[in-house]
Chain A
Amino acid sequence: ILNVEQSPQSLHVQEGDSTNFTCSFPSSNFYALHWYRWETAKSPEALFVMTLNGDEKKKGRISATLNTKEGYSYLYIKGSQPEDSATYLCAFERDAGNMLTFGGGTRLMVKP
């Protein structure tokens, strides 16, 4: 059984705060690490897919880093806005397969 864990489970921040959360995953048989953003009643939306150790990706105020040797990825949000409120899911992809193993998500709430 693959273990993918995210922390914290939930996070409340003020508008303008920067924040980060963690995804830990197995360091063996790694192929890719996915981050998704999921707003209530909407579809999960892909943010990043990272495949190389040391990868850093950025999309606007959101960025992510990847350490495959130690099995973790960080997601950073700079200057949080209320519209960033969502659940952020990471998913581990093993061996170039189709199956994603998801973490439990971090629920972010940004107060105006």
Chain B
Amino acid sequence: EPEVTQTPSHQVTQMGQEVILRCVPISNHLYFYWYRQILGQKVEFLVSFYNNEISEKSEIFDDQFSVERPDGSNFTLKIRSTKLEDSAMYFCASGLDSGGEKLFFGSGTQLSVL
């Protein structure tokens, strides 16, 4: 069965460093998302992406964050200058359509900012 894959599974970085989290969505899906879960908190929406542009983003997704689909298969989340509070599990998800459709999630990247 097709699945969303994320790499790396764990990433440790120093505060102020740039990180890129990578995702390969399911190949025929058109809608792509990043969510995150800070330890002990709810899963939070970051951004949605369709047709090579951001369709919606949350307040969390400030100028330090960016997303890209560079080659038609990968979908990346970049954090330009990491802060301690960026430490979280980051999930990529993809969907075939928007509005009332199941999302397919990856198993996450645990980001630790020291």
Contact = CB atoms under 8 A, between A and B. Distances in A.
Interface of A: 4, 31-32, 34, 36, 41-46, 49, 51, 89, 91, 93, 96-105
A43 B4 contact: yes
Given A99-B48, A102-B42, A44 B105 contact: yes
Given A41-B107, A89-B43, A96 B91 contact: no
B100 A98 contact: no
Given A49-B100, A105-B42, 7 more contacts: A31-B100, A43-B4, A43-B106, A43-B107, A46-B102, A89-B43, A96-B98
Interface residues of B, number: 26
Contacts of B50: 98
B103 interface: yes
A43 B108 contact: yes
B3 A46 contact: no
Contacts of A101: 45
30 contacts: A31-B100, A32-B99, A32-B100, A36-B105, A42-B107, A43-B106, A44-B91, A44-B105, A46-B102, A46-B103, A46-B104, A49-B100, A51-B100, A96-B98, A96-B99, A97-B56, A97-B98, A97-B99, A98-B31, A98-B33, A98-B48, A98-B56, A98-B98, A99-B45, A99-B58, A100-B45, A101-B45, A102-B35, A104-B42, A105-B42
